[in-house]
Structure 1
């Protein structure tokens, strides 16, 4: 791409990101923008106005997703959708989510300026929610688009202030999808540009990640019941120390994860000890296990083996242990044909790219089982995300925008 044209595009992206980031700006230049908050609504309204000024036809759906559409000249019953989520974590960065929305707007603008209207519809979506930062529910926006949400899933949910999901939603003029609303059939592809939220691309000095799959996530709570007793009067051989048992289990699980190797990851992120005082043998421990892999059979094999380890340690130490699974997310592959398209573009443009998996969840995983889906990564400095310290060099994310533009040209023009 001509350098002057690239700079024009870059300035458009930077300026729109900066404008959006004023909504929910925090003291340390981060962003807090949670679902159905006043700031969230103001941001969506600003985007609606901006899209209208740029010639897009705009609309909100029943649940809060915002769409900006450019109608195609021929296959107007076929839509190529580009976008991401507008909500953030608390004190998050300026790029997580909204970069994908901005990239779609700018790429479409530039395509129309250069080539006129597309043959197929091009549609940018600013999805209502993905993060689960306000309510214990994720992917509200994308799940509604593909028809994967039942009202019962959010009824009864409240935020930390006691405000219900339904109250917050209706307060902003939104509600549940109409009973006669079906999953949209016109979407022929979904494309998402996102920061990596990891350090792989930066470490390998690649400007583009072509995601071939999003890992499955399986989460457990391990509950160990021993026997609380006096720390001074209970001999070591007579103890049923639940924390000692937990430490053996945790070490065994982590070491087993290392044996399985990449791309399997396992994390022990929570540890609750009862009574949690210095002079009592711990009577009860709960710890979490989060494990992820791109292959469901392999992660199930890992789970089976660590369950055997837990059972063996419990038996040897005379502890009662329960393994409770509370999340069972399957791996989701991206569309091979779209990956091939993108790889050819990267080669022709001399872009340094890597075919890789995503260890984090994204809206793309909700779309992928329904429509051909592509997920493009750009590097994250030091792998930092979900933080106001999140940063991607504009030249790196512009490589992603350029790739997005070329892909849209191929499949929509």
Structure 2
């Protein structure tokens, strides 16, 4: 199960009038942010293969000041989420992003601050539970795929105190965290049935 490293990057430039400030005199915090956002996508794509830990990166929130159309942005705050099933790859990419923020700020002669929010380690799920669930799928001829979870779930915490596993069911076009998210009721029922039978078999085998 993948784990996140989350941090904020704050660029501090100088707010100026958008009409009277020449381009070569600007200290635009938002332009610096745009360069870093593009870098997050670029570096995460380089580490996106399964062999490199399937790293993903998201700049999910941004605050801009003064936030008006007629002023050069003097301050920009980015919230960055880097995730991977490999702690080494995740930490490496997070370090690269932070270093690039420093480089961008230096080149543009503006300030930058990095605030770490949290960093967690990937959590392996129980292979015995995987074996039971996979056997049930084979017995019932249910199509399945063994895959890592890119999202954090309660199982991430439960795995610290007890064997944990997860059963995913398909969502249309893989869309999640979106009003368009949709899972067929038949798949929901099948997933619930598989979960119940997994629990019964685990209890009977006293795993």
Could you state the TM-score of these two structures normalised by the residue count of structure 1? 0.46
Asked if residue 249 in structure 1 is aligned to residue 45 in structure 2, the reply is no
Q: What is the alpha-carbon distance in structure 2 between the residues aligned to residue 217 and residue 296 of structure 1?
A: 9
- Name 1:364's counterpart in structure 2: 155
CA-based RMSD? 1.8
- Report which structure shows greater RCO (CA 8 Å, sep ≥6): 2
Offset of residue 224 of structure 1? 0.6
Q: What is the alpha-carbon distance in structure 2 between the residues aligned to residue 276 and residue 391 of structure 1?
A: 36
Q: What is the alpha-carbon distance in structure 1 between the residues aligned to residue 125 and residue 190 of structure 2?
A: 20
What SS does structure 2 have at the residue aligned with 1:355? coil
**Are residues 401 and 279 of structure 1, via their aligned partners in 2, closer, same or farther at CA, if it must alter by over 3 Å?**
closer
In the alignment, is the contact (CA less than 8 A) between 1:227 and 1:283 conserved in 2? yes
What SS does structure 2 have at the residue aligned with 1:223? strand
Q: What is the alpha-carbon distance in structure 2 between the residues aligned to residue 276 and residue 398 of structure 1?
A: 48
Q: What is the alpha-carbon distance in structure 2 between the residues aligned to residue 228 and residue 407 of structure 1?
A: 60
Asked if residue 326 in structure 1 is aligned to residue 117 in structure 2, the reply is yes
Asked if residue 335 in structure 1 is aligned to residue 126 in structure 2, the reply is yes
In the alignment, is the contact (CA less than 8 A) between 1:351 and 1:399 conserved in 2? no
Q: What is the alpha-carbon distance in structure 1 between the residues aligned to residue 39 and residue 105 of structure 2?
A: 13
Q: What is the alpha-carbon distance in structure 2 between the residues aligned to residue 387 and residue 333 of structure 1?
A: 27
Runs of 4+ in 1 over 3 A off after TM superposition: 382-391
- Name 1:27's counterpart in structure 2: none
In the alignment, is the contact (CA less than 8 A) between 2:5 and 2:94 conserved in 1? no
More divergent stretch after superposition (227-236 vs 385-394)? 385-394
- Name 2:68's counterpart in structure 1: 277
Answer 1 or 2: which has greater helix percent: 2
Q: 2:188 aligns with which of 389, 397, 413?
A: 397
- Name 1:227's counterpart in structure 2: 14
The structure with more radius of gyration: 1
Question: How many correspondences in the alignment?
Answer: 200
Q: Deviations over 1:167-220 (max 9, x none)?
A: xxxxxxxxxxxxxxxxxxxxxxxxxxxxxxxxxxxxxxxxxxxxxxx2101211
Q: Deviations over 1:294-328 (max 9, x none)?
A: 11111000011111211111111001101111122
Which aligned pairs between 1:70-219 and structure 2 lie closer than 5 A?
214-219=1-6
Query: For structure 2, which runs of at least 5 residues remain unmatched after alignment?
Result: none
Q: What is the alpha-carbon distance in structure 1 between the residues aligned to residue 25 and residue 179 of structure 2?
A: 50
What SS does structure 2 have at the residue aligned with 1:276? coil
Offset of residue 338 of structure 1? 1.1
Query: For structure 1, which runs of at least 5 residues remain unmatched after alignment?
Result: 1-213
